[in-house]
């Protein structure tokens, strides 16, 4: 595991711990709990990919996912996930 992957692995483990603590507190909103569980699952999958050397590859095509997006959203799974992110970007009307 290279230094970049180690840093990401550590960050994801810390995030996993924070989510687990939040869930164990028992005062999370019933509306938020499913989202926390889903995020926890995605983090677990990403940690396994880092360990196995499969991190950063599309689960469907095997293509490399854009590194800049993985730095922001390390739980991305497919190229389709990456393309859907474009729906959330806003372009300035001023240049």
pTM of the model: 0.82
- The pLDDT tens digits for 75-89 are 999 999 888 887 766
- The pLDDT tens digits for 32-48 are 999 999 999 999 999 99
Residue that is written with structure tokens 């164990």 in the block: 24
CA angle (12 as vertex; 9, 16 as ends), nearest 5: 135
Cα gap 54→87, rounded to integer Å: 27
Q: Give the number of other Cβ atoms within 10 Å of residue 66's Cβ.
A: 14
């Amino acid at each position: 595991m290279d230094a970049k992957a180690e840093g990401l692995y550590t960050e994801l483990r810390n995030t996993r711990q924070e989510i687990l603590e939040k869930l164990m507190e028992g005062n999370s909103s019933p509306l938020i709990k499913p989202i926390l569980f889903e995020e926890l699952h995605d983090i677990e999958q990403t940690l396994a990919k880092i360990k196995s050397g499969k991190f950063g590859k599309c689960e469907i095509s095997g293509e490399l996912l854009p590194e800049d997006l993985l730095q922001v959203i390390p739980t991305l799974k497919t190229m389709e996930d990456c393309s859907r992110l474009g729906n959330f970007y806003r372009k300035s009307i001023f240049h």
